[in-house]
Amino acid sequence: MSANRPQRIGIVVAGYGYWGPNVVRNVIERPEFKLMGVCERDEERVSSLRRRHPGIWVDRDLDITLTDPRVEAVAIATPPSTHYELVTRALEAGKHVLVEKPLATSSQACVELIRLAAQHQLVLMPGHTFVYSPSVNKIRELIHGDVLGEVFFITSSRMNLGKFQRDGVVLDLAPHDLSILLHWLEEPLVRVAASGRSVFHSEVPDTAFMTLTFASGTQANVQLSWLAPRKVRQMVIVGSRRMVQYEDSSSDETVRVYDRGLDFDEPPSNFGEYNLTYRTGDMVAPRIDAVEPLALELQDFASAIKTGAEPRSSARLGVTIVVALEALAESLRQEGRPVTVPPIPLVGSNGRLRVAEGNGKRPSADGVLSAGSERFVRGIGSANGGAPGADGLVAGGTERNGESRAQELDRRRP
Ligand SMILES: NC(=O)c1ccc[n+]([C@@H]2O[C@H](COP(=O)([O-])OP(=O)(O)OC[C@H]3O[C@@H](n4cnc5c(N)ncnc54)[C@H](O)[C@@H]3O)[C@@H](O)[C@H]2O)c1
Protein backbone atom coordinates (compact mmCIF):
# COMPACT_ATOMS: atom_id res chain seq x y z
CA MET A 1 0.00 0.00 0.00
CA SER A 2 1.32 3.47 -0.86
CA ALA A 3 2.41 5.57 2.11
CA ASN A 4 0.03 8.35 1.01
CA ARG A 5 -3.01 6.15 0.64
CA PRO A 6 -5.46 6.84 3.46
CA GLN A 7 -6.20 3.93 5.76
CA ARG A 8 -9.35 2.11 4.72
CA ILE A 9 -12.04 1.46 7.30
CA GLY A 10 -12.55 -2.24 8.04
CA ILE A 11 -16.28 -2.96 7.79
CA VAL A 12 -18.58 -5.97 8.05
CA VAL A 13 -22.07 -6.02 6.49
CA ALA A 14 -24.74 -7.81 8.53
CA GLY A 15 -27.70 -9.18 6.54
CA TYR A 16 -27.50 -10.41 2.93
CA GLY A 17 -31.19 -10.58 2.04
CA TYR A 18 -32.84 -8.17 -0.41
CA TRP A 19 -30.98 -4.93 0.42
CA GLY A 20 -27.72 -6.35 1.84
CA PRO A 21 -26.25 -7.25 -1.61
CA ASN A 22 -26.52 -3.57 -2.61
CA VAL A 23 -24.66 -2.57 0.55
CA VAL A 24 -21.96 -5.22 -0.01
CA ARG A 25 -21.45 -4.17 -3.64
CA ASN A 26 -21.16 -0.50 -2.71
CA VAL A 27 -18.79 -1.21 0.18
CA ILE A 28 -16.55 -3.13 -2.24
CA GLU A 29 -16.65 -0.24 -4.72
CA ARG A 30 -15.96 2.53 -2.18
CA PRO A 31 -12.32 3.39 -1.68
CA GLU A 32 -12.87 4.43 1.95
CA PHE A 33 -13.82 0.89 3.08
CA LYS A 34 -12.32 -2.56 3.21
CA LEU A 35 -14.95 -5.30 3.35
CA MET A 36 -13.80 -7.67 6.11
CA GLY A 37 -16.74 -10.07 5.86
CA VAL A 38 -20.48 -10.55 5.84
CA CYS A 39 -22.68 -11.70 8.68
CA GLU A 40 -25.65 -13.82 7.53
CA ARG A 41 -27.53 -16.69 9.16
CA ASP A 42 -29.51 -18.09 6.28
CA GLU A 43 -27.59 -20.81 4.41
CA GLU A 44 -29.25 -20.08 1.06
CA ARG A 45 -28.28 -16.44 1.32
CA VAL A 46 -24.74 -17.44 2.29
CA SER A 47 -24.54 -19.65 -0.84
CA SER A 48 -25.77 -16.74 -2.97
CA LEU A 49 -23.09 -14.50 -1.42
CA ARG A 50 -20.38 -17.10 -2.08
CA ARG A 51 -21.44 -17.42 -5.72
CA ARG A 52 -21.30 -13.68 -6.25
CA HIS A 53 -18.28 -12.86 -4.09
CA PRO A 54 -16.16 -16.00 -3.75
CA GLY A 55 -13.69 -15.96 -0.89
CA ILE A 56 -15.61 -13.54 1.35
CA TRP A 57 -15.43 -14.48 4.99
CA VAL A 58 -18.82 -15.23 6.59
CA ASP A 59 -19.78 -14.83 10.24
CA ARG A 60 -23.05 -16.44 11.32
CA ASP A 61 -23.91 -14.20 14.27
CA LEU A 62 -21.59 -11.14 14.48
CA ASP A 63 -19.68 -12.94 17.27
CA ILE A 64 -16.24 -13.06 15.67
CA THR A 65 -16.78 -9.69 13.96
CA LEU A 66 -17.31 -7.93 17.24
CA THR A 67 -14.07 -9.23 18.80
CA ASP A 68 -11.92 -8.43 15.74
CA PRO A 69 -10.10 -5.11 16.27
CA ARG A 70 -9.55 -4.71 12.51
CA VAL A 71 -13.33 -4.31 12.11
CA GLU A 72 -14.09 -0.67 12.90
CA ALA A 73 -17.60 -0.46 11.53
CA VAL A 74 -20.69 -2.55 10.92
CA ALA A 75 -23.37 -1.88 8.29
CA ILE A 76 -26.61 -3.54 9.35
CA ALA A 77 -29.15 -4.61 6.71
CA THR A 78 -31.27 -7.04 8.73
CA PRO A 79 -35.03 -6.69 9.42
CA PRO A 80 -36.11 -3.73 11.61
CA SER A 81 -37.07 -5.97 14.56
CA THR A 82 -33.39 -6.99 14.89
CA HIS A 83 -31.90 -3.48 14.71
CA TYR A 84 -31.98 -2.63 18.41
CA GLU A 85 -30.21 -5.79 19.50
CA LEU A 86 -27.59 -5.82 16.74
CA VAL A 87 -26.83 -2.09 16.98
CA THR A 88 -26.49 -2.35 20.75
CA ARG A 89 -24.05 -5.26 20.44
CA ALA A 90 -22.00 -3.46 17.78
CA LEU A 91 -21.80 -0.18 19.72
CA GLU A 92 -20.92 -1.97 22.96
CA ALA A 93 -18.10 -3.69 21.09
CA GLY A 94 -16.79 -0.27 19.97
CA LYS A 95 -17.87 -0.36 16.31
CA HIS A 96 -19.31 2.55 14.32
CA VAL A 97 -22.75 1.64 12.98
CA LEU A 98 -24.66 2.32 9.80
CA VAL A 99 -28.08 0.73 10.28
CA GLU A 100 -30.73 0.48 7.60
CA LYS A 101 -33.96 2.40 8.10
CA PRO A 102 -35.72 2.56 10.47
CA LEU A 103 -33.14 3.23 13.17
CA ALA A 104 -35.19 1.06 15.55
CA THR A 105 -38.82 0.10 16.00
CA SER A 106 -39.56 2.47 18.90
CA SER A 107 -38.47 5.99 19.81
CA GLN A 108 -37.36 4.78 23.25
CA ALA A 109 -35.05 2.25 21.58
CA CYS A 110 -33.68 5.06 19.35
CA VAL A 111 -32.97 7.20 22.39
CA GLU A 112 -31.08 4.38 24.06
CA LEU A 113 -29.02 3.71 20.94
CA ILE A 114 -28.20 7.40 20.46
CA ARG A 115 -27.07 7.65 24.08
CA LEU A 116 -24.99 4.51 23.77
CA ALA A 117 -23.26 5.84 20.63
CA ALA A 118 -22.51 9.15 22.37
CA GLN A 119 -21.23 7.37 25.46
CA HIS A 120 -18.80 5.30 23.37
CA GLN A 121 -18.02 8.21 21.02
CA LEU A 122 -19.11 6.24 17.99
CA VAL A 123 -20.99 7.19 14.84
CA LEU A 124 -24.55 5.92 14.70
CA MET A 125 -26.13 6.61 11.34
CA PRO A 126 -29.50 5.42 10.02
CA GLY A 127 -29.54 4.57 6.32
CA HIS A 128 -32.11 6.97 4.90
CA THR A 129 -30.85 6.49 1.36
CA PHE A 130 -33.17 8.98 -0.33
CA VAL A 131 -31.55 12.01 1.30
CA TYR A 132 -28.55 11.16 -0.90
CA SER A 133 -30.58 10.83 -4.10
CA PRO A 134 -29.49 13.41 -6.70
CA SER A 135 -33.12 13.78 -7.86
CA VAL A 136 -34.36 14.38 -4.30
CA ASN A 137 -31.62 16.94 -3.77
CA LYS A 138 -32.39 18.68 -7.06
CA ILE A 139 -35.98 19.17 -5.86
CA ARG A 140 -34.68 20.37 -2.51
CA GLU A 141 -32.69 23.02 -4.38
CA LEU A 142 -35.83 24.05 -6.29
CA ILE A 143 -37.82 24.37 -3.06
CA HIS A 144 -35.15 26.28 -1.15
CA GLY A 145 -34.19 28.40 -4.17
CA ASP A 146 -37.84 29.54 -4.23
CA VAL A 147 -38.29 28.25 -7.77
CA LEU A 148 -41.53 26.48 -6.79
CA GLY A 149 -42.88 29.28 -4.58
CA GLU A 150 -44.99 28.28 -1.60
CA VAL A 151 -45.35 24.50 -1.45
CA PHE A 152 -49.11 23.89 -1.15
CA PHE A 153 -49.11 20.12 -1.10
CA ILE A 154 -47.24 16.99 -2.11
CA THR A 155 -48.58 13.63 -3.21
CA SER A 156 -46.67 10.39 -3.24
CA SER A 157 -47.34 6.88 -4.53
CA ARG A 158 -44.92 4.18 -3.43
CA MET A 159 -46.24 0.82 -4.56
CA ASN A 160 -45.12 -2.53 -5.85
CA LEU A 161 -46.11 -6.18 -5.70
CA GLY A 162 -44.59 -7.51 -2.45
CA LYS A 163 -42.59 -8.26 -0.67
CA PHE A 164 -44.72 -8.98 2.35
CA GLN A 165 -42.93 -8.45 5.70
CA ARG A 166 -44.27 -8.98 9.16
CA ASP A 167 -43.47 -5.39 10.23
CA GLY A 168 -46.10 -4.02 7.83
CA VAL A 169 -45.97 -1.68 4.84
CA VAL A 170 -45.82 1.52 6.91
CA LEU A 171 -42.63 0.53 8.72
CA ASP A 172 -41.14 -0.65 5.43
CA LEU A 173 -42.00 2.18 3.03
CA ALA A 174 -43.09 5.24 5.04
CA PRO A 175 -39.50 5.98 6.23
CA HIS A 176 -38.65 6.80 2.60
CA ASP A 177 -41.42 9.40 2.24
CA LEU A 178 -40.83 10.81 5.71
CA SER A 179 -37.09 11.23 5.10
CA ILE A 180 -37.67 12.88 1.70
CA LEU A 181 -40.39 15.21 2.99
CA LEU A 182 -38.44 16.26 6.11
CA HIS A 183 -35.35 16.82 3.96
CA TRP A 184 -37.31 18.93 1.47
CA LEU A 185 -39.47 20.96 3.79
CA GLU A 186 -37.12 21.38 6.77
CA GLU A 187 -40.01 21.89 9.13
CA PRO A 188 -41.63 19.79 11.82
CA LEU A 189 -44.32 17.28 11.05
CA VAL A 190 -47.16 18.21 13.39
CA ARG A 191 -50.06 15.86 12.63
CA VAL A 192 -50.59 12.54 10.88
CA ALA A 193 -53.55 10.43 9.90
CA ALA A 194 -53.37 6.94 8.44
CA SER A 195 -55.77 4.25 7.40
CA GLY A 196 -54.94 0.94 5.84
CA ARG A 197 -56.00 -2.55 4.81
CA SER A 198 -54.61 -5.83 5.97
CA VAL A 199 -55.33 -8.25 3.17
CA PHE A 200 -53.05 -11.16 4.01
CA HIS A 201 -52.43 -10.96 7.72
CA SER A 202 -54.78 -9.28 10.18
CA GLU A 203 -53.19 -6.36 12.04
CA VAL A 204 -50.37 -6.04 9.47
CA PRO A 205 -51.40 -3.51 6.81
CA ASP A 206 -50.10 -4.18 3.33
CA THR A 207 -51.72 -1.00 1.99
CA ALA A 208 -51.88 2.35 3.76
CA PHE A 209 -53.01 5.89 3.00
CA MET A 210 -51.43 8.66 5.03
CA THR A 211 -52.03 12.39 5.35
CA LEU A 212 -49.14 14.34 6.85
CA THR A 213 -49.45 17.96 7.99
CA PHE A 214 -46.34 20.09 8.45
CA ALA A 215 -45.93 23.16 10.66
CA SER A 216 -46.46 25.71 7.84
CA GLY A 217 -49.65 23.96 6.74
CA THR A 218 -48.09 22.10 3.80
CA GLN A 219 -49.81 18.75 3.43
CA ALA A 220 -48.58 15.50 1.98
CA ASN A 221 -50.74 12.61 0.94
CA VAL A 222 -48.88 9.32 0.69
CA GLN A 223 -50.10 5.98 -0.67
CA LEU A 224 -48.11 2.91 0.27
CA SER A 225 -48.79 -0.59 -0.98
CA TRP A 226 -47.30 -4.01 -1.50
CA LEU A 227 -50.26 -4.79 -3.73
CA ALA A 228 -49.84 -3.09 -7.09
CA PRO A 229 -49.46 -4.29 -10.67
CA ARG A 230 -46.08 -2.60 -11.11
CA LYS A 231 -43.48 -0.64 -9.19
CA VAL A 232 -44.53 2.99 -8.81
CA ARG A 233 -42.38 5.64 -7.15
CA GLN A 234 -43.97 8.96 -7.99
CA MET A 235 -44.18 12.24 -6.14
CA VAL A 236 -45.84 15.49 -7.25
CA ILE A 237 -45.00 18.79 -5.59
CA VAL A 238 -47.48 21.59 -6.17
CA GLY A 239 -46.10 25.05 -5.54
CA SER A 240 -47.54 28.51 -6.08
CA ARG A 241 -45.08 29.18 -8.96
CA ARG A 242 -44.23 25.79 -10.39
CA MET A 243 -45.07 22.14 -10.06
CA VAL A 244 -42.74 19.17 -10.10
CA GLN A 245 -43.21 15.54 -10.97
CA TYR A 246 -40.56 13.21 -9.58
CA GLU A 247 -40.51 9.65 -10.79
CA ASP A 248 -37.83 7.45 -9.30
CA SER A 249 -37.54 5.28 -12.37
CA SER A 250 -34.97 4.13 -14.84
CA SER A 251 -35.80 6.99 -17.19
CA ASP A 252 -33.33 9.83 -17.64
CA GLU A 253 -35.99 12.43 -16.85
CA THR A 254 -36.67 11.64 -13.22
CA VAL A 255 -37.54 15.25 -12.35
CA ARG A 256 -39.84 17.39 -14.47
CA VAL A 257 -40.51 21.00 -13.58
CA TYR A 258 -43.75 22.41 -14.97
CA ASP A 259 -44.39 26.12 -15.27
CA ARG A 260 -48.08 25.54 -14.73
CA GLY A 261 -50.66 26.82 -12.30
CA LEU A 262 -53.45 29.26 -11.65
CA ASP A 263 -52.93 33.02 -11.47
CA PHE A 264 -55.20 35.66 -9.95
CA ASP A 265 -55.81 39.00 -11.62
CA GLU A 266 -54.32 41.57 -9.30
CA PRO A 267 -56.13 43.85 -8.54
CA PRO A 268 -59.52 42.24 -9.23
CA SER A 269 -61.17 43.47 -12.48
CA ASN A 270 -64.47 44.10 -10.67
CA PHE A 271 -64.94 44.82 -7.02
CA GLY A 272 -64.54 41.57 -5.10
CA GLU A 273 -64.29 39.45 -8.23
CA TYR A 274 -60.99 37.78 -8.97
CA ASN A 275 -60.37 36.38 -12.40
CA LEU A 276 -58.36 33.20 -12.56
CA THR A 277 -56.14 32.45 -15.52
CA TYR A 278 -54.52 29.13 -16.23
CA ARG A 279 -50.77 29.23 -16.80
CA THR A 280 -49.53 26.42 -19.04
CA GLY A 281 -45.89 27.20 -19.69
CA ASP A 282 -42.90 25.02 -20.46
CA MET A 283 -41.75 21.79 -18.89
CA VAL A 284 -38.07 21.50 -18.07
CA ALA A 285 -36.26 18.30 -17.08
CA PRO A 286 -33.09 19.35 -15.24
CA ARG A 287 -29.91 17.28 -15.58
CA ILE A 288 -29.57 14.88 -12.70
CA ASP A 289 -26.22 13.33 -11.79
CA ALA A 290 -26.14 9.58 -12.34
CA VAL A 291 -24.78 8.63 -8.94
CA GLU A 292 -26.07 5.79 -6.80
CA PRO A 293 -27.44 7.26 -3.54
CA LEU A 294 -26.11 4.31 -1.52
CA ALA A 295 -22.57 5.12 -2.66
CA LEU A 296 -22.97 8.69 -1.36
CA GLU A 297 -24.50 7.39 1.88
CA LEU A 298 -21.46 5.18 2.50
CA GLN A 299 -19.14 8.03 1.64
CA ASP A 300 -20.92 10.19 4.22
CA PHE A 301 -20.62 7.38 6.80
CA ALA A 302 -16.85 7.20 6.18
CA SER A 303 -16.58 10.97 6.49
CA ALA A 304 -18.47 10.92 9.82
CA ILE A 305 -16.08 8.24 11.14
CA LYS A 306 -12.95 10.06 9.96
CA THR A 307 -13.82 13.69 10.66
CA GLY A 308 -16.61 13.58 13.23
CA ALA A 309 -18.89 15.57 10.89
CA GLU A 310 -22.55 14.74 11.35
CA PRO A 311 -23.89 12.67 8.44
CA ARG A 312 -26.77 14.05 6.39
CA SER A 313 -28.79 10.98 7.36
CA SER A 314 -28.34 11.75 11.02
CA ALA A 315 -29.45 10.05 14.21
CA ARG A 316 -31.76 13.02 14.74
CA LEU A 317 -33.46 12.35 11.43
CA GLY A 318 -33.66 8.68 12.42
CA VAL A 319 -35.44 9.32 15.72
CA THR A 320 -37.70 11.98 14.14
CA ILE A 321 -38.87 9.41 11.61
CA VAL A 322 -39.48 6.74 14.25
CA VAL A 323 -41.58 9.20 16.29
CA ALA A 324 -43.64 9.87 13.14
CA LEU A 325 -43.99 6.10 12.56
CA GLU A 326 -45.32 5.70 16.11
CA ALA A 327 -47.88 8.45 15.51
CA LEU A 328 -48.89 6.78 12.24
CA ALA A 329 -49.28 3.43 14.01
CA GLU A 330 -51.50 5.10 16.61
CA SER A 331 -53.67 6.66 13.91
CA LEU A 332 -53.93 3.28 12.13
CA ARG A 333 -55.09 1.72 15.42
CA GLN A 334 -57.72 4.46 15.70
CA GLU A 335 -58.91 3.90 12.13
CA GLY A 336 -57.55 7.10 10.69
CA ARG A 337 -58.13 9.58 13.51
CA PRO A 338 -55.58 12.44 13.23
CA VAL A 339 -52.80 12.13 15.81
CA THR A 340 -50.56 14.98 16.95
CA VAL A 341 -46.88 14.16 16.57
CA PRO A 342 -45.22 14.48 19.99
CA PRO A 343 -41.95 16.35 20.57
CA ILE A 344 -38.88 14.49 19.34
CA PRO A 345 -36.96 13.01 22.27
CA LEU A 346 -33.45 14.42 22.73
CA VAL A 347 -34.02 17.20 20.17
CA GLY A 348 -34.08 20.68 21.70
CA SER A 349 -36.06 23.68 20.48
CA ASN A 350 -32.89 24.86 18.68
CA GLY A 351 -33.05 21.70 16.59
CA ARG A 352 -29.88 20.23 18.10
CA LEU A 353 -29.58 16.79 19.57
CA ARG A 354 -29.03 16.79 23.32
CA VAL A 355 -27.23 13.79 24.70
CA ALA A 356 -26.47 13.49 28.38
CA GLU A 357 -23.58 11.35 29.53
CA GLY A 358 -24.50 8.98 32.30
CA ASN A 359 -25.78 5.46 32.37
CA GLY A 360 -26.52 5.70 28.67
CA LYS A 361 -29.97 4.27 29.23
CA ARG A 362 -32.45 6.92 30.18
CA PRO A 363 -32.94 10.37 28.68
CA SER A 364 -32.83 13.19 31.23
CA ALA A 365 -35.38 15.95 30.93
CA ASP A 366 -32.81 18.54 29.87
CA GLY A 367 -30.03 16.40 28.41
CA VAL A 368 -26.66 18.11 28.37
CA LEU A 369 -24.46 18.28 25.34
CA SER A 370 -21.12 17.12 26.67
CA ALA A 371 -17.77 17.71 24.97
CA GLY A 372 -17.46 13.97 24.47
CA SER A 373 -20.71 13.58 22.65
CA GLU A 374 -20.62 16.81 20.65
CA ARG A 375 -18.60 15.23 17.88
CA PHE A 376 -21.55 13.02 17.04
CA VAL A 377 -24.41 15.45 17.38
CA ARG A 378 -23.28 18.69 15.83
CA GLY A 379 -24.60 20.10 12.56
CA ILE A 380 -27.43 17.64 12.59
CA GLY A 381 -29.77 16.63 9.81
CA SER A 382 -31.51 19.30 7.85
CA ALA A 383 -29.67 21.99 9.78
CA ASN A 384 -26.56 21.11 7.82
CA GLY A 385 -28.50 20.42 4.63
CA GLY A 386 -27.83 22.24 1.41
CA ALA A 387 -27.43 21.07 -2.10
CA PRO A 388 -25.69 17.82 -2.84
CA GLY A 389 -22.03 18.51 -2.90
CA ALA A 390 -22.29 21.37 -0.45
CA ASP A 391 -20.97 19.13 2.28
CA GLY A 392 -18.19 17.68 0.19
CA LEU A 393 -20.01 14.66 -1.18
CA VAL A 394 -18.42 13.68 -4.43
CA ALA A 395 -20.07 11.80 -7.26
CA GLY A 396 -18.66 8.31 -7.43
CA GLY A 397 -21.06 6.11 -9.37
CA THR A 398 -19.81 3.20 -11.45
CA GLU A 399 -21.21 1.34 -14.39
CA ARG A 400 -21.68 -2.42 -14.35
CA ASN A 401 -21.14 -4.80 -17.22
CA GLY A 402 -23.68 -7.20 -18.65
CA GLU A 403 -26.76 -5.18 -17.70
CA SER A 404 -28.64 -2.46 -19.48
CA ARG A 405 -28.59 0.92 -17.76
CA ALA A 406 -32.35 0.64 -17.20
CA GLN A 407 -32.07 -2.81 -15.57
CA GLU A 408 -29.19 -1.67 -13.46
CA LEU A 409 -31.01 1.43 -12.21
CA ASP A 410 -34.16 -0.56 -11.48
CA ARG A 411 -32.25 -3.06 -9.35
CA ARG A 412 -30.60 -0.27 -7.38
CA ARG A 413 -33.85 1.47 -6.56
CA PRO A 414 -35.10 1.05 -2.98
N1 LIG B 1 -32.44 2.01 2.14
C2 LIG B 1 -33.29 1.37 1.36
O3 LIG B 1 -33.69 1.89 0.35
C4 LIG B 1 -33.79 0.02 1.75
C5 LIG B 1 -34.43 -0.81 0.81
C6 LIG B 1 -34.87 -2.07 1.24
C7 LIG B 1 -34.69 -2.46 2.54
N8 LIG B 1 -34.09 -1.61 3.42
C9 LIG B 1 -33.88 -1.99 4.81
O10 LIG B 1 -32.89 -3.01 4.86
C11 LIG B 1 -33.16 -3.87 5.97
C12 LIG B 1 -33.24 -5.30 5.45
O13 LIG B 1 -34.35 -5.39 4.58
P14 LIG B 1 -34.42 -6.56 3.50
O15 LIG B 1 -35.58 -6.25 2.66
O16 LIG B 1 -33.09 -6.77 2.88
O17 LIG B 1 -34.77 -7.81 4.44
P18 LIG B 1 -34.56 -9.35 4.12
O19 LIG B 1 -35.44 -10.09 5.05
O20 LIG B 1 -34.67 -9.59 2.64
O21 LIG B 1 -33.04 -9.63 4.50
C22 LIG B 1 -32.58 -9.60 5.81
C23 LIG B 1 -31.44 -10.61 5.93
O24 LIG B 1 -30.90 -10.49 7.25
C25 LIG B 1 -30.62 -11.81 7.72
N26 LIG B 1 -30.62 -11.78 9.18
C27 LIG B 1 -31.66 -11.64 10.02
N28 LIG B 1 -31.23 -11.59 11.30
C29 LIG B 1 -29.90 -11.71 11.26
C30 LIG B 1 -28.90 -11.74 12.26
N31 LIG B 1 -29.20 -11.62 13.55
N32 LIG B 1 -27.61 -11.86 11.88
C33 LIG B 1 -27.30 -11.98 10.57
N34 LIG B 1 -28.21 -11.96 9.57
C35 LIG B 1 -29.49 -11.82 9.91
C36 LIG B 1 -31.72 -12.69 7.14
O37 LIG B 1 -31.30 -14.04 7.08
C38 LIG B 1 -31.90 -12.07 5.76
O39 LIG B 1 -31.10 -12.69 4.79
C40 LIG B 1 -34.45 -3.35 6.60
O41 LIG B 1 -34.14 -2.53 7.69
C42 LIG B 1 -35.10 -2.56 5.49
O43 LIG B 1 -35.95 -1.54 5.98
C44 LIG B 1 -33.62 -0.41 3.03
Residue whose CB lies within 8 A of the most ligand 1 atoms, among 12, 13, 16, 18, for a mutation test: 18
Q: What is the pLDDT of residues 101-139, one digit of tens each?
A: 999 999 999 999 999 999 999 999 999 999 999 999 999
Residues 350-370 have a mean pLDDT of: 48
**Alpha carbon separation from 82 to 12, 190, 362 (Å, rounded):** 16, 29, 21
Q: Do 136 and 123 have their domain in common?
A: no
How far is it, in rounded angstroms, from Cα 26 to Cα 35? Answer: 10
pLDDT of 98 > 90? The answer is yes
pLDDT interval class at 262 (50, 70, 90)? confident
Looking at residue 368, its amino acid is V
* Per-residue buried b or exposed e for 112-126, using 16+ beta carbons within 10 Å of the residue's own CB: bbbbbbbbbebbbbb
Residue whose CB lies within 8 A of the most ligand 1 atoms, among 13, 98, 100, 167, for a mutation test: 100
Half-sphere exposure of 169 (CA within 13 A, CB side): 31
In a domain, 228, yes or no: yes
Least confident of 187-196, 306-315, 325-334, 361-370: 361-370
CATH number (domain holding residue 276): 3.30.360.10
Q: Do 144 and 121 have their domain in common?
A: no
243, β-bridge pairs: 238, 258
**Alpha carbon separation from 182 to 86, 152, 164, 171 (Å, rounded):** 27, 15, 26, 16
CATH number (domain holding residue 65): 3.40.50.720
Backbone angle region of 261, left / alpha / beta, with phi > 0 → left and psi within -120 to 50 → alpha: left
Name all residues whose Cβ lies below 6 A of ligand 1: 14-20, 39-42, 45, 61, 77-80, 82, 86, 100-101, 127, 129, 172, 414
Q: Do 109 and 26 have their domain in common?
A: yes
Q: How far is the CA of 182 from the centre of ligand 1 (A)?
A: 24
Residue whose CB lies within 8 A of the most ligand 1 atoms, among 13, 19, 45, for a mutation test: 19
- DSSP class of residue 187 equals S
Q: Do 218 and 357 have their domain in common?
A: no
Residue 62 is predicted with a pLDDT of 93
Q: Do 299 and 238 have their domain in common?
A: no
* Cα radius of gyration rounded to whole Å, the chain: 22
Prediction pTM value? 0.86
Q: Do 168 and 275 have their domain in common?
A: yes
Q: How far is the CA of 9 from the centre of ligand 1 (A)?
A: 22
Number of domains in the chain: 2
Closest CA to 176 of 201, 208, 143: 208
Residue numbers of the domain that contains 341 = 9-129+293-412
Q: Do 137 and 276 have their domain in common?
A: yes
pLDDT of 405 > 50? The answer is no
Element of type H or E holding 384? none
